[in-house]
């Protein structure tokens, strides 16, 4: 097959980890006979510097024509004044909205060889395998905002249709897994959460084979630590998903390992490691590329239907996690390129 | 001294743990010569059953005349339909607002004898001593809400004055501790967080002896697990505080241990254990009363200026944590009354 992938390296370590992941995709293409065409565009801080806009029109246009969009990270101290009118994060939010990728999938597993890096006790980490489905294009992220000298407001808004589609996605995914969905809200306080809860409950009736449970977001923040292996698919609104997935990421031992896929109605998806631009280590060639490489695997699976190739990348990453080399964040001394090369070499071993 | 304390036992285990804590206060009164007068009123589900209202007028009136208000817990399956017009939680939110207790203090320490119960590795728990200051009367909890068949909204609103007063409280408290304040927001996305951040930064200049650091709420959810001992005072808005304090509570090994104090401008405060009504164990006499007993200590300290007596209760609780008896949630077999009696007995040992 032939696929067009737009890369958005962004800022900080974004370009470094994306380069490594693109090299892995090239290696997969060679071995499988597929053709992946890459086209790189600006987003975030570097786009502000070059064009004044965090999401230039040319970038958006290219993304809309692509089969998949592969993003590094945005932001950094240079653009971090929260009072600034134009901010790198606006580019990220705008591309999510423009592509309509309302379901952000964040899988969490803890590789046995990294359990020692987790702040959680080993016995808690056994059988942890959670798939977060975070609503990504609604809620307080996209609601009306006001600001005067004295007052600020953010509106959190959800429609039934917005909740239905992300809920269906979560239940479809749960069917292929352990048939269990946990929906997280704050229905004892928020009106949007009451709409969320009643909509999820109604949609769940279409999936009698999948068990549904509701949790309040505060309890869930605790349960993720005390009983992490209890959860299969966890579906929640945008801001709760932001907080809970970062909390959960700590369990894996390093943020640098974790991938994400953001999906909408069509095949086009937005793929990004969940770590940020890590300005403290940018430009040093030491960033962990595995979050980006695993995001490339999700890209193959969800946008290109190349499940075998995706699984091969995941197996190669697992091989490298077991045998090394490891970057600093997971206790090793290797650089980004060493890990990239090891993953590529492992593609043949695991195939 | 003579003090009038209104007790609001509420639902579930609320009355059981409050009874135990009131017994401890009686014991303290006897030993110290102070007079505490108690008056019990309805709130939450039991108030709905009796009067149709989660916060009856008689309750509110009594609270306003008291020196301190001491609450158990509200809610339970009987009243848990989130679509119901009248819900127990409304009573809790209404009393917080009516008393103007905008600063919710939630101290977190991990008692050495309970480290084995924590999901976190022991080395992470060393020197954990965090005081959360959660804004309690603003934000999405109290903003305008709308609901149609198709759409729901919650408005999160903050004024500069609301942020200033809770920030000042946090800095005052930090002065008496390790002179470090971490302010948590989501300033890269929310307008209220940008107001929050600029206000906190400005107020911080009045406290040159205290160091201020800002964290995004998603990062903070992770940092609480990876570097919990780094934090001293953590100040944040209502909903973020709800989530982060429950997450942090998991570190202590049991929710049942943790107290809270909610303070406003005057001396009157609202004191409650942070655990909920625990309907699964209600009526069995097995609930852990230590969260309520430690809340009684906070009541003595913050509303009655009885610091010595407060410290005596805390020392007695620590003695019981070290030597037992322990309730089930912390690995023991004792009942609520056993623990109550042990704390009272320990008052003399530690005095
Ligand atoms: C950079 C920021 C706007 C973003 C978010 O909050 O969604 C990030 O934290 C994430 O989770 O992808
Ligand atoms: C019961 C609920 C409304 C309450 C809150 O969200 O404030 C509780 O979770 C708390 O933290 O005291």
pLDDT band, residue A35 (cuts 50/70/90)? very high
Q: What pLDDT score was predicted for residue B81?
A: 83
CA of B272, closest atom in ligand 2: 12
Looking at the structure, give the CATH architecture of the domain made up of residues A1-111+254-351: 3-Layer(aba) Sandwich (3.40)
Q: What pLDDT score was predicted for residue A81?
A: 82
Q: Is domain B119-251 in CATH 3.30.70.1140, yes or no?
A: no
**Is A218 among the residues known to form the active site?**
yes
For B177, other C-beta atoms within 10 Å of its C-beta total 15
Q: What pLDDT score was predicted for residue B182?
A: 99
Given the candidates 3.90.930.12, 3.40.718.10, 3.40.47.10, 3.90.550.10, the CATH classification of the domain at B1-110+253-351 is 3.40.718.10
Per-residue pLDDT for A82 more than 80? no
Task: Kindly identify the ligand whose nearest atom is closest to the C-alpha of B274.
Answer: 2
Q: Please state the rounded mean pLDDT for residues B7-32.
A: 98
* Token pair listed for B251: 């570190």
Write the CB contacts of B88 (distance below 8 Å, at least 6 apart in sequence): B10, B11, B43, B44, B45, B47, B48, B54, B74, B75, B76, B79
Question: How many degrees, rounded to 5, is the angle at CA B161 between CA B157 and CA B162?
Answer: 50
| Closest C-alpha among A21, A218, A23, A42 to residue B134 | A218
- How many helices (H) does chain A have, and how many strands (E)? 12, 12
pLDDT band, residue A350 (cuts 50/70/90)? confident
**Is B141 among the residues known to form the active site?**
yes
| CB B300, CB B306: distance < 8 Å | yes
Judge if the beta carbon of residue A242 lies within 6 A of ligand 1.
Answer: yes
Per-residue pLDDT for B239 more than 80? yes
- How is residue B127 annotated by DSSP? T
A1-111+254-351 shares its CATH topology with A119-251: yes
Nearest to B243 among A124, A218, A249 (CB): A218
Q: Please state the rounded mean pLDDT for residues B229-245.
A: 98
CB contact under 8 A, B153 and A157: yes
Q: Across all residues in chain B, what is the average pLDDT?
A: 97
Contacts 24+ apart (CB under 8 A), A324-331: A327/A256, A327/A286, A327/A287, A327/A288, A327/A289, A327/A290, A328/A281, A328/A286, A328/A288, A329/A254, A329/A255, A329/A256, A329/A288, A330/A114, A330/A117, A330/A253, A330/A254, A330/A256, A330/A257, A330/A288, A331/A116, A331/A117
* Total residues belonging to chain A: 351
Nearest to A154 among B146, B191, B217 (CB): B191
How many CB pairs lie under 8 A apart between chains A and B? 176
Q: What pLDDT score was predicted for residue B322?
A: 96
Nearest to A222 among B150, B197, B250 (CB): B250
CA A179 to chain centre: 22
- List C-alpha distances in Å: B132 to A229, A240, B105, B212: 28, 19, 6, 14
pLDDT band, residue B47 (cuts 50/70/90)? very high
Rounded to the nearest angstrom, the minimum Cα separation between A47 and chain B is 17
Q: What pLDDT score was predicted for residue B83?
A: 76
| CB A107, CB A273: distance < 8 Å | no
**Is B211 among the residues known to form the active site?**
no
pLDDT band, residue A144 (cuts 50/70/90)? very high
Q: What pLDDT score was predicted for residue B221?
A: 98
| Rounded-to-integer distance, Cα A127 and Cα A120, Å | 13
| CB B270, CB B134: distance < 8 Å | no
| CB B243, CB A243: distance < 8 Å | yes
Q: What pLDDT score was predicted for residue B309?
A: 97
| Rounded-to-integer distance, Cα A236 and Cα A154, Å | 19
**Is A338 among the residues known to form the active site?**
no
Task: Kindly identify the ligand whose nearest atom is closest to the C-alpha of B295.
Answer: 2
| Closest C-alpha among A74, A21, A3 to residue A317 | A21
**What residues of B are designated binding site for NAD(+)?**
76-89, 276-288
| Pairing, β A145-147 against β A151-159 | antiparallel
Sorted by where each begins, the domain ranges of chain B are 1-110+253-351, 119-251
| Rounded-to-integer distance, Cα A140 and Cα B139, Å | 12
Q: Please state the rounded mean pLDDT for residues B44-60.
A: 98
pLDDT band, residue B94 (cuts 50/70/90)? very high
| Rounded-to-integer distance, Cα A241 and Cα A262, Å | 13
Which residues of A are less than 8 Å from B255 in CB distance? 222
For B269, other C-beta atoms within 10 Å of its C-beta total 26
Contacts 24+ apart (CB under 8 A), A337-341: A337/A20, A337/A285, A339/A20, A339/A288, A339/A289, A339/A290, A340/A19, A340/A20, A340/A23, A340/A24, A340/A289, A340/A293
Q: Across all residues in chain A, what is the average pLDDT?
A: 97
Rounded to the nearest angstrom, the minimum Cα separation between A116 and chain B is 10
| Pairing, β A269-273 against β A68-73 | parallel
Q: Which residues pair with A48 in a beta bridge?
A: none
Q: What pLDDT score was predicted for residue A80?
A: 84
Backbone angles phi, psi at A327, to 5 degrees: -75, 170
Q: Please state the rounded mean pLDDT for residues B41-49.
A: 98
Q: What pLDDT score was predicted for residue B82?
A: 72
Q: Which residues pair with A8 in a beta bridge?
A: A71
Per-residue pLDDT for A109 more than 90? yes
Q: What is the pLDDT of residues B189-231, one digit of tens each?
A: 999 999 999 999 999 999 999 999 999 999 999 999 999 999 9
| Rounded-to-integer distance, Cα A236 and Cα A246, Å | 14
**What residues of B are designated binding site for substrate?**
96, 106, 134, 218
Per-residue pLDDT for B121 more than 90? yes
What is the residue whose two structure tokens read 């798939």?
A131
Is residue B348 exposed (0-12), middle (13-18) or buried (19+ Cβ within 10 Å)? exposed
pLDDT band, residue A84 (cuts 50/70/90)? confident
Per-residue pLDDT for B336 more than 80? yes
Kindly provide the b/e burial profile for residues B42-71, where b requires at least 16 CB atoms within 10 angstroms of the residue's own CB. Answer: bbbbbbbeeeebbbbeebbebbeebbbbbb
What is the residue whose two structure tokens read 């077999």?
B333
Per-residue pLDDT for B350 more than 90? no
């Amino acid at each position: 097959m032939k696929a067009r992938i737009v890369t958005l390296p962004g800022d900080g370590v974004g370009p470094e980890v994306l380069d490594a992941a693109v090299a892995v995709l090239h290696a997969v293409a060679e071995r499988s006979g597929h053709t992946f065409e890459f086209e790189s565009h600006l987003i975030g801080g570097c786009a502000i510097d070059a064009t004044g806009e965090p999401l230039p029109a040319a970038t958006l246009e290219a993304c809309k024509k692509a089969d998949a969009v592969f993003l590094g990270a945005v932001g950094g101290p240079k653009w971090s004044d929260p009072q600034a009118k134009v901010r790198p994060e606006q580019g990220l939010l705008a591309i999510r909205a423009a592509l309509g990728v309302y379901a952000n999938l964040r899988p969490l597993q803890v590789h046995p060889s990294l359990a020692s890096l987790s702040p959680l006790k080993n016995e808690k980490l056994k059988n942890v395998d959670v798939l977060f489905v975070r609503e990504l294009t609604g809620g307080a992220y996209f609601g009306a905002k006001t600001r005067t000298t004295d007052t600020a407001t953010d509106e959190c808004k959800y429609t039934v249709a917005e909740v239905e589609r992300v809920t269906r996605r979560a239940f479809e995914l749960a069917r292929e897994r352990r048939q269990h969905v946990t929906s997280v809200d704050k229905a004892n306080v928020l009106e949007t959460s009451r709409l969320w809860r009643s909509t999820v409950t109604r949609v769940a009736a279409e999936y009698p084979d999948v068990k549904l449970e509701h949790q309040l977001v505060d309890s869930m923040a605790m349960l993720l630590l005390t009983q992490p292996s209890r959860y299969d698919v966890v579906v929640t609104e945008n801001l709760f998903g932001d907080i809970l997935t970062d909390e959960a990421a700590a369990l894996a031992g390093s943020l640098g390992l974790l991938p994400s896929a953001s999906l909408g109605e069509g095949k086009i998806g937005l793929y990004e490691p969940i770590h940020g631009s890590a300005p403290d280590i940018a430009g040093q060639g030491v960033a962990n590329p595995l979050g980006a490489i695993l995001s490339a695997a999700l890209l193959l699976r969800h946008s290109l239907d190349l499940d075998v190739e995706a699984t091969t990348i995941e197996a190669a990453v697992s091989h490298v996690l077991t045998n090394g080399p490891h970057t600093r964040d997971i206790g090793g001394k290797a650089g980004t390129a060493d890990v990239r090369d090891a993953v590529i070499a492992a593609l043949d071993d695991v195939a």
